Amino acid sequence: MNQTWERAARAACAIVALTACGASAQERSAVEEIERYRQALGDGNPAELWEARGESLWKEKAGPKNASLEKCDLGLGPGVVRGAYAQMPRYFADSGKVEDLESRLVTCRSTLQGIAPEEAKKNPFGGPGRKTVNDALVAYITSESRGIKMNVQTSHPKEAEAYEVGRKIFFHRGGPYDFACATCHGVDNIRIRLQDLPNLTKQVDAQRAYTSWPAYRVSQGEVRTFQWRLEDCFRQQRFPHLDFTSEASIALTMFLAKNANGAPFNAPSIKR
């Protein structure tokens, strides 16, 4: 661990201690702490550890077929990683489905490595003492789109349909609190407590939000992927549990990703 990271880790502990106090006036200083943390890191981001691990996992032989993922087609041809994420979700003729990155990885791990899809979908998100293949691969592959403009297409009918379905899900009010995504993300310049809420129906906000995921969450010490973000917002929405790689999550991602078109992708980032 180099010096910057040591300093950063100390700052991170301070933030965790602060946020543990709960939602109160202290959140303000937590925001300031994050800023200090960002500065301490300079250009570094602990997500780089996930990226490096993901690159190894991509190239290592694994699974019953003892194969690497290097022939995985992320949309730009087998093995092409650079820029692929900026054009996802997209329709894949081999699976006959619209897939986002996380579901595409399940497909590739199954077809190339022989890992059963149910197995590949198990425990996708890391936690204390548990590092996952999904988090690492996503960190690596997304990092290879850094600086590339989002360019998600809906030219295939299934892509167009996914976008429209995603849009409907975004505005679908339900549950005991009558919430939809749009309740918290459909208005300009609002916040919950002190957390700013992007208006994801508006291009500039959608661009800023979408291109900043996945993110290393300081408060959790983990890289969190976009499907994780959706799952956690559905929890706050009082909805049931979103199934990892479900068509619903892919459609919603399609809606948000396309709304972000035109902006350079800039993640894995770092967040509170």
| Backbone φ and ψ of 155, nearest 5° | -80, -35
Strands 215-217 and 269-271: parallel
Verify binding: residue 140, other proteins, rule CB under 8 A: no
- DSSP secondary structure of 142-199: HHTTTTPBP-----SHHHHHHHHHHHHHHT--BTTTTB-HHHHHSSTTEEETTEEE--
The C-alpha atoms of residue 272 and residue 180 are separated, in whole angstroms, by 24
Please, what is the minimum distance in Å from the beta carbon of residue 144 to ligand HEC? 21
The C-alpha atoms of residue 132 and residue 124 are separated, in whole angstroms, by 6
Window 186 to 205, contacts with ligand HEC (CB under 6 A): 192, 195, 197-198, 200
Please, what is the minimum distance in Å from the beta carbon of residue 190 to other proteins? 5
Verify binding: residue 185, ligand HEC, rule CB under 6 A: yes
Q: Which does 233 bind (CB under 5 to 8 A by kind): other proteins, ligand HEC, none?
A: ligand HEC
- In the annotation, is 233 catalytic? yes
Residue of the chain from 9, 62, 76, 190 that contacts other proteins (CB under 8 A): 190
Q: Which does 230 bind (CB under 5 to 8 A by kind): ligand HEC, other proteins, none?
A: ligand HEC
In this structure, the dihedral spanned by the alpha carbons of residues 99, 135, 233 and 251, taken in order and rounded to 10 degrees, is 0
Q: Toward other proteins, which CB reaches closer, 201 or 207?
A: 201
The C-alpha atoms of residue 52 and residue 57 are separated, in whole angstroms, by 9
Q: Which does 81 bind (CB under 5 to 8 A by kind): ligand HEC, other proteins, none?
A: none
Verify binding: residue 230, ligand HEC, rule CB under 6 A: yes
Question: H or E element: which one contains 262?
Answer: none
* 140-to-137, 143, 146, 263 alpha-carbon distances in Å: 5, 5, 10, 20
State the residues that interact with other proteins by CB under 8 A.
Answer: 23-25, 27-28, 157, 160-161, 164-165, 167-180, 182-184, 186-187, 189-195, 197, 201, 234-236, 238-243, 246-249, 251
Contact residues toward ligand HEC (CB under 6 A) are 179, 181, 183-185, 192, 195, 197-198, 200, 209, 212, 229-230, 233-234, 236-237, 252, 272
Active-site residue list = 233
